[in-house]
Every structure is written in structure tokens, then in C-alpha cells.
């Protein structure tokens, strides 16, 4: 058994019964933070709010799950994609309501070029947390990659409705709108 698989077996196998399937996306602090995103225009303040939201999304009542998420993310960033895929998939299997595990695996699938799998995981992320601006952005980028610009436009519009002052959201929406305009002419 590979060391990462053994680690997963020991960590996830021992925690599934001990902890309920709670997830950061249910945290009551999120409503206030998302309300702040709607009105805040200062980029530095927006960055702080976004960081607080990401911190909540990554949070889990079990510290082992949080450590596995960090390990999976580090594996993904180090291009150890099979290890990352194993970690995220095990987390999803054991904690299917943990939206951030779905989002991380969607990102990994995008990196691997498996756009259909990425969309499926993004849709699951958004079913759990419809305001997930990272997933909405990712969905738009997947559709841009697939040259499905109308779907990309919808994803970026949904993103702007959740995070109207995000410069990236507006830039991506404007770029898609410009491409759609040019394709019509």
C-alpha cells in the first residue's frame, strides 16, 4: 500500500464514525460575510472577507479532515495529482456534504483536463453552497475552455451576483461578453 493510501486509510477510516458529516458551508457567519461582499468596494477589505470565507469553507470539526485537505491541496500544487485525487475522493466518500472537498476535486479535474468531471463536482459544490464564488468562477472558466460562451456568461453573471466587486469576476464577464459580441458580428 502506498504511504498516502495508508495515511488515508488510517486517518479517514478512524474518523468516519466519530464525527458527523458537518461542513463549513453551514457556518452562520457566512451570511454576514457574503452581505459584506455585496457592499464592500475596497480591494484590501475584499481580500480579508474572501480569506475569512475560504477559512470557514475549509473548516471541518475534525482536525484530521482539515489536515487531509491541506495534504490534498499540497499534493495538487506539487503536481502529485494521483495522491490529490485519492485524498479528495476519500474525503468526498466519507463526508459527502463537505463542499470544499468537491470544489478541490473539481479544480484538480480541471487541471487534468477532465472538464466533464470538473463540471459535475462544481455542480455538487454549488448544490451544497450556491454562493461558492470559487466554484462559480471555475465553472465559468471550464465553459470558456469548452468554448461554451453563453454558459460561461451565465456562470460569471452568477458570480457577480454573489461577489459584485470582484475584479476578476467583472473582467471575466466582460471578456466573455466581448467574445460573444464579436462572434455575433
Per residue in 26-58, pLDDT (tens digit) is 899 999 999 999 999 999 999 999 999 999 999
Domain membership flag for residue 21 = no
Domain membership flag for residue 9 = yes
Residues sharing a CB contact under 8 Å with residue 143, sequence separation 6 or more, in sequence order: 149, 151, 152, 155
For 98-156, what is each residue's pLDDT tens digit?
A: 999 999 999 999 999 999 999 999 999 999 999 999 999 999 999 999 999 999 999 99
Look at residue 19 in the predicted model and tell me its pLDDT: 40
**Nearest residue to 104 (alpha-carbon basis) of 71, 150, 153:** 71
Domain membership flag for residue 153 = yes
In CATH, what number is assigned to the domain containing residue 114? Answer: 1.25.40.10
Residue 12 has pLDDT above 60, yes or no: no
Domain that includes residue 103, residue range: 3-15+27-184
What is the C-alpha separation between 9 and 87, in angstroms, rounded? Answer: 10
Residue 171 has pLDDT above 80, yes or no: yes
Look at residue 18 in the predicted model and tell me its pLDDT: 40
**What proportion of the chain, given as a percentage, has pLDDT over 90?**
82
Domain membership flag for residue 20 = no
Amino acid at each position: 500500500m502506498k504511504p498516502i493510501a495508508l495515511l488515508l486509510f488510517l486517518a479517514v477510516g478512524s474518523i468516519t464514525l466519530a464525527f458527523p458529516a458537518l461542513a463549513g458551508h453551514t457556518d452562520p457567519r457566512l451570511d454576514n460575510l457574503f452581505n459584506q461582499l455585496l457592499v464592500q468596494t475596497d480591494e484590501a477589505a475584499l481580500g480579508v472577507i474572501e480569506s475569512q470565507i475560504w477559512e470557514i469553507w475549509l473548516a471541518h470539526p475534525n482536525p484530521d479532515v482539515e489536515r487531509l485537505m491541506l495534504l490534498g491541496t499540497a499534493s495538487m500544487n506539487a503536481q502529485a495529482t494521483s495522491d490529490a485525487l485519492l485524498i479528495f475522493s476519500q474525503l468526498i466518500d466519507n463526508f459527502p456534504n463537505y463542499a470544499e472537498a468537491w470544489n478541490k476535486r473539481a479544480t484538480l479535474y480541471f487541471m487534468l483536463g477532465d472538464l466533464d468531471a470538473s463540471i459535475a463536482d462544481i455542480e455538487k459544490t454549488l448544490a451544497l453552497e450556491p454562493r461558492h464564488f470559487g466554484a462559480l468562477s471555475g465553472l465559468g472558466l471550464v465553459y470558456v475552455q469548452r468554448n461554451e460562451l453563453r454558459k460561461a456568461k451565465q456562470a460569471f453573471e452568477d458570480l457577480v451576483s454573489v461577489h459584485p466587486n470582484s475584479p476578476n469576476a467583472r473582467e471575466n464577464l466582460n471578456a466573455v461578453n466581448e467574445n460573444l459580441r464579436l462572434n455575433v458580428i
